[in-house]
Structure 1
Amino acid sequence: MSLKNRIRTFWIATLLAVGALGYSLKAYEMMTIEEIKPGMEGEWRTVISGTEVETFPLRVIGVAGHFVGPDQPVIICEAIDEKNVLSGPVAGMSGSPVFIEGKLVGAYAYGYSWPKEQAIIGVTPIHNMLPVFENKDIEVASSGTINPHWKSVELTSRDRLGEYKSVLKPLPAPLIAAGISDQTLQAFQEEFDKLGIQVMNGPGGSSMKELTGSIEAGSAVSAILMQGDFNFGATGTVTHIEGDQLLAFGHPFFQWGNVEMPLAQAEILTIVRSLPASFKLSNTGGMVGRVYQDRLTGIAAEIGQVSPMTDYSVSVEYPNFDDKNYSAKIFRHPRLSPVIGAMATMEALRGVLEYSEEQTLRVKTRVKIEGYEPIEVTDVFAGTGVESASAFQQMAIHQLISDNTFDSPPIESMEVEVEASPVTEIIYLEAVYLHQDTALAGETVNLTLQMKNHQGKRFSKEVAFKLPEEVRKERVELLVADALAVDKVEFEGFYTASNFEHILERIADLKSRDHIYVCLLRRSPGISLEGQHLAGLPPSTLTLLKNVKGLKIDKDTLRESTFEMSIPVDAEFRGSAILPLTVD
């Protein structure tokens, strides 16, 4: 349908049902921006309690052209009722439809922070929002860095009054993490900063009752990032409904473009009045559809079809206490979803810290990827900060799977099983004694490892291994190390992959912290080519490969691991040592 036809009179009043939920189509005309004059009075419609849409009066001040870009004007209005003058612009009002003379004008979307005895608001014209309906069926691609156009510039220390400045900016759909502590949010603040996201923790989450009633212009809806025992989402307001499609917010959520994000009906608990910025406190109901466009002038959603989500669960076993089990569903996004999942894991693990400051966690993460056999990663974390180390490792695994240059299949489920104990179980490597400086190919090499536990008790362990027959007449290095040190040496701080399967292989090869690793390293110049390590190449071959046009060489490599053994220990092992060995 053309933009011109859309601005004409819409359907006769109708109510359609979608399962137990309906969406309301009411007859109204649309007013063009050329018709709007200063002094006109109208109203906006929104929910301030429960799910009932109410109306509030406003007056037009004028129109500002080229506000958020070329041909992107904003209509400047002021609220004229006492309640809204008191509260000022309210986050969560974003998308509230504005009517003048019974005609739809646009969406309440912008406001001044730190208002004083007035509520000046900016309205996104409806004709600038209607194009967001287009391209509904475009396939979602991996998103780039999240960067909402209104993200504030960080102020320098010289600008001491900077936080009190009042600027006309989009009223955020309050992005609230419910069931997540402020300590956990602070741990992930750097990750959210990279993505340009501002998050607050607060009450809210899933509604304790089934939400009823139809969705109409002015209804509250939530874009869902996580729902379950942990909740993470943003609430805004519906501007316009056309068939089974709706427009909301009046400004971008993240400005991702084509998206797949669940949409839920919402109820408003109350308006929290605040000098910097008032906001709606809300709960979410059941999923009712999906957001498929996130653009400069608003989001577009479809009622009925719901976006697929990843099933997430974490269970924690702790001696002498009841097991704790948590579950949620997480929306699928290559960069944000790993952060959300790890945040939930950390919060679940923080619950065991009330029993003991120092812990040992034995963690098993099971990931089911569409079209592949499940992947399992086990590891041990001991001491202080174990909840952080475990959560960030999970985030790294999730990022490897979802945020890469390949056409990654979706993660269907992620299960985290944790066995916790209230003691620190760490073994430190103090010294390695090699019983001989030289050995013959195929001969047994003997080592003595000198170690101590977390309490300082020293002990030793004898280790023996047989040299490979192919290693002869050369000087090698013997590496005794923990998981992190072995990974660093083997991959030389660098990893690449030529296909998705290489990524899965890399995850499967992750070392576990409850093992001692003994490796034999050979000096073997080579290259890393499309994710594969080609070692032991003659100088002439290396020169030839490096000069082949179009051949992508990732990195020169200096050595390879020709032998590896692992020794399990009942603790986290830390430390490393490299010893030279001559093989005759």
Structure 2
Amino acid sequence: MINWRKIRKIAGYSRLLVLCCVMTMSVQAQEFMAVKDVQEGMTGYAKTVVHGTAIETFPVKIIGVMKNSGPSGDLVLAEFSGPLIERSGGIAQGMSGSPVYINGKLLGAVAYGWSFTKSRLGMITPITDMVKLWNVPNENEMRPFNAREASLIPITTPLMTSGLDSASLQWFVGKLPQYRFHPVAAPTSSGDGASVALEPGSAVAAALMNGDMKMGAIGTVTYVDGDHIVAFGHPFLKKGSINYFMHNAYIFTIVNSLNTSFKLGSIGRETGVIEQDRGAGIAGRRNDLRPGIPVIIKATDEDTGTTLEKRVKIVEDNELTPVLASTAVYNTINKTLDRFGGGTVSLTYTIRGAGGTDRDITRHNMYYSSENINEKSIDELYNVLDMLKHNEFIAYPVLDIQMNVRVSQAKKTARIVDASAAPAVVAPGDEIYLKVKLHPYRGADETRILSFTVPKDQPPGEMILEIRGGGVTPLPYLIERQKYNLTDEILARLRHYKDFAELKKKIETEESNNDLVVEILDKNVSMVPDKKDTSDKVKIREKVENPTDSDLRKPHKKGAKEEKDTEAKTLVPTPYIILGDGQLTFQVVRPQEREKYRKKYRSAAGASAVMKAAIETAEGATKKDRKDSKTKNAEEAAAVSADTDTVIGSL
């Protein structure tokens, strides 16, 4: 028997369930207003946060539509009013992205202002253009910004920072002048660690750096669909496809100024990723955290014993990564030293690249500056990262960066004051012993004994050995540079590598300033190619490592030797930055003629006293002296390159 009462009851429940679903869908769905439906005189409201995380509203009145005036198409001109606008002094920086509703429909985001109107007038980017960011447009779909009025300007997003000092921020801004950054040091909030659900009108941050130091732009969420959001209504840096860190934001207040007001806020908890930064705004996803690039910095002031270790995470980008990493290191050094001025820095760093250990770079170097050792400490890291990120061979995603820095006010330099060697007559493949005297700044003289092996293919005749510091360029090369007026830009253009492996090897094996170097000095060096001259010339192919110095990097030799895996060179690390250079002359003969020529040199009446002294002094270096010197050199090499117990770890 059919129980009709039960069936009617079930049907009632079903109708109720359907009704509830429809009501839920109507609550969750947000209808958009098309630009074609916008009429002058329409009124509505916008939502934003001016304190804490509470969303407030302010009235909006439509004035008209500005055809093709924005980076993505049309803009809607509107007037903003109400107590909130009066308190904030107009549309403030950080309000960009504030959603505008007309007749219950979402029209778009407050995005642009008009100069000299006290910011009561502004332009709205249509939401229909913004949601296209979820499906990355191709280049043909993206129009360049073509504002009709020169006074029409984006409501710039404030770059909030914490944990960074003014000197570091000034350096950061100077490296990226095209973005006209205006960083603002902001306080932190006790609720920064809390996760706040993002909704239209919420404050949101697109961060470039987080961790012990934070840096990012604060704006307003325009629309949320599940985990997808759009915000700002205009580009941040217009980087296209990117991976900024999405964060909650807490607003302290609106700061009024003569130029424009801005929201003062803190960058809170990381909640997702910003994947698009284009003309219509920024777009991203919640609950999708990206690893970024962990940067671990350990800085020690040897004079005070102060040591700081900082950990940050920075975005992956060819342009931004070198600057952000160097800024974090610079800031850590500044806070460790708590001073500006001269000194000596010893640095060791490792850059790990994705794709295997053959992409990893490890370097040690020392620098001295009489003016600002803090800034000098980051020059090399910035240059190497910039070279890796812009290399022509492979994409170079960075896994992490680790840097260990030790700084002292002491002037840790040593000048080469004397050198002698034996034997004076050699054959290809022979070993030469050199005795080099160093004079440390305000210290007692020290002696180093080095060995140099004559190349097996060295031709007979005169051979000049250059003894110098790793950062010193022989005088003939400097004269050649002046002769041809070779600027740093020209030298950079002459530099080239055959593949990434060669580039990596060049970076890792490049001399350090604390190296004592012995190498053959080419007398016929030339730094520019000369088609009329068929002689075997040496060409400069390297960029000057320190553009502020007058030194020039040593050129490679042309021909078969250029392709060798090893150069005829001796490098011995020391605890000093080595200054100065000198030359010793040797006679290269065939092996069977070696002893005959040595006897001639010893007994020749015309032999110079300097040569005789060199022979006698160097040959007087006993095996014990050589062993002791090698042991000392090895210990010093370990000391200057020691990387303490810094460990790569996750943030």
- Tell me the TM-score normalized by structure 1: 0.78
Q: Which moved more, 1:250-259 or 1:566-575?
A: 566-575
Q: Output the CA distance in 1 between the equivalents of 2:199 and 2:215.
A: 24
Give the aligned partner of residue 106 of structure 1.
108
Q: Distance in 2 between matches of 1:463 and 1:115?
A: 74
Higher mean Cα deviation, 506-515 or 296-305? 506-515
Specify the code of the residue in structure 1 equivalent to 2:577. Answer: E
Q: CA deviation at 1:214?
A: 2.1
Q: Does 1:369 align with 2:353?
A: yes
Match of 1:132 in 2: 133
Q: By how many angstroms is 1:239 displaced?
A: 0.8
Q: Which has the higher helix share?
A: 2
Give the alignment partner of residue 401 of structure 1, picking from 388, 395, 406: 388
Task: Describe the SS at the equivalent of 1:484.
Answer: coil
CA contact (8 A) 1:361 1:421 kept: yes
Cα gap change, 1:25/1:300 in structure 2, threshold over 3 Å: closer, same or farther?
Answer: farther
**Aligned match of 2:366:** 380
- Corresponding residue to 2:250 among 258, 263, 267: 267
- Alpha-carbon spacing, 1:73–1:499, altered in 2? closer, same or farther (3 Å): same
Larger Rg: 2
2:51 alignment partner, SS class: coil
Change (3 A) 1:247 1:442: closer
Aligned to 2:56: 54
The 10-residue stretch of structure 1 (206-215 or 268-277) with the greater mean CA deviation from structure 2: 206-215
Q: Per the alignment, in what secondary structure is the counterpart of residue 47 of structure 1?
A: strand
Unaligned runs of 5+ in 2: 1-20, 478-487, 528-533, 537-555, 590-651
| TM-aligned CA distance change 1:526 to 1:34, over 3 Å | same
List gaps (5 residues or longer) in structure 1.
1-10, 16-23, 142-147, 152-164, 528-536, 540-554
Cα distance, 1:26 vs. partner? 3.6
1:242 to 2:242 alignment: no
Give the match for residue 412 of structure 2.
Answer: 425
Residues 482 and 112 (structure 1), Cα distance of their counterparts in 2 relative to 1, 3 Å cut: farther
The correspondence of residues 62-461 of structure 1 with structure 2, limited to 5 A, is 62-68=64-70, 72-85=73-86, 87-116=89-118, 119-135=120-136, 167-193=151-177, 195-204=178-187, 208-319=191-302, 320-354=304-338, 357-373=341-357, 374-384=360-370, 385-429=372-416, 440-442=427-429, 445=432, 449=436, 451-455=438-442
Output the amino acid matched with 2:316. R
Amino acid at match of 1:45: K
Most deviating of 90-99 and 27-36: 27-36
Question: Following the alignment from structure 2 to structure 1, what is the Cα–Cα distance between the partners of residues 425 and 439?
Answer: 28
Q: Deviations over 1:182-210 (max 9, x none)?
A: 222223443211x5351414124676543
Tell me the number of residue pairs that the alignment of Structure 1 and Structure 2 aligns.
518
Distance in 2 of aligned mates of 1:173 and 1:415: 31
- Post-superposition shift, 1:458? 6.6
Q: CA 1:576 to 1:207, structure 2 compared with 1: closer, same or farther past 3 Å? A: farther
2:457 partner amino acid: E
Change (3 A) 1:260 1:282: same
Contact 2:70 2:125 in 1 (8 A): no
CA shift in 2, pair 1:150/1:565, >3 Å: farther
Quote the residue 2:35 is aligned against: 33
| 1:565 maps to 2:548 | no
Per-residue Cα deviation, 1:435-460 (whole angstroms, up to 9, x for no partner): 89875445555656565433487777
Offset at residue 221 of structure 1 (A): 1.0
> Residue 114 and residue 459 in structure 1: after superposition, are their counterparts in 2 closer, same or farther (change >3 A)?
farther
- The alpha carbon displacement at 1:579 in A equals 6.4
Deviation, structure 1 residue 251 = 0.8
Question: Quick one: distance in 1 between partners of 2:306 and 2:259?
Answer: 43
- State the 1:110 CA deviation: 0.6
SS in structure 1 of the partner of residue 503 of structure 2: helix
**Is this contact kept in 2: 1:206–1:227, CA < 8 A?**
no
Summarize the Cα distance change of 1:578–1:196 in structure 2 as closer, same or farther, 3 Å threshold: farther
Q: Is the 8 A contact 1:355 1:422 kept in 2?
A: no
Distance (whole Å) between structure 2 residues aligned to residue 352 and residue 287 of structure 1: 27
SS of corresponding position for 1:110 = strand
Report the alpha carbon displacement of residue 321 of structure 1 after superposing the two structures with TM. Answer: 3.3
The superposition leaves residues 153-210 of structure 1 with CA deviations (integer Å, 9 ceiling, x where unpaired) of xxxxxxxxxxxx98221112212332222222223443211x5351414124676543
Report deviation, 1:404: 2.3
Range 37-46 or range 82-91, more displaced? 82-91
Cα distance in structure 2, aligned partners of 1:571 and 1:444: 26
**Contact in 2 for aligned 1:42/1:100 (Cα 8 Å):** yes
Which residue of 1 is the match for residue 517 of structure 2?
517
Q: Partner of 1:104: helix, strand, or coil?
A: strand
TM-aligned CA deviation for residue 334 of structure 1: 1.5
Give me the identity figure in percent.
Answer: 25
SS at match of 1:111: strand
1:394 and 1:487 mapped to 2: Cα distance? 25
TM-score by length of 2: 0.71
Alpha-carbon distance in structure 1 between the residues aligned to 2:329 and 2:229: 34
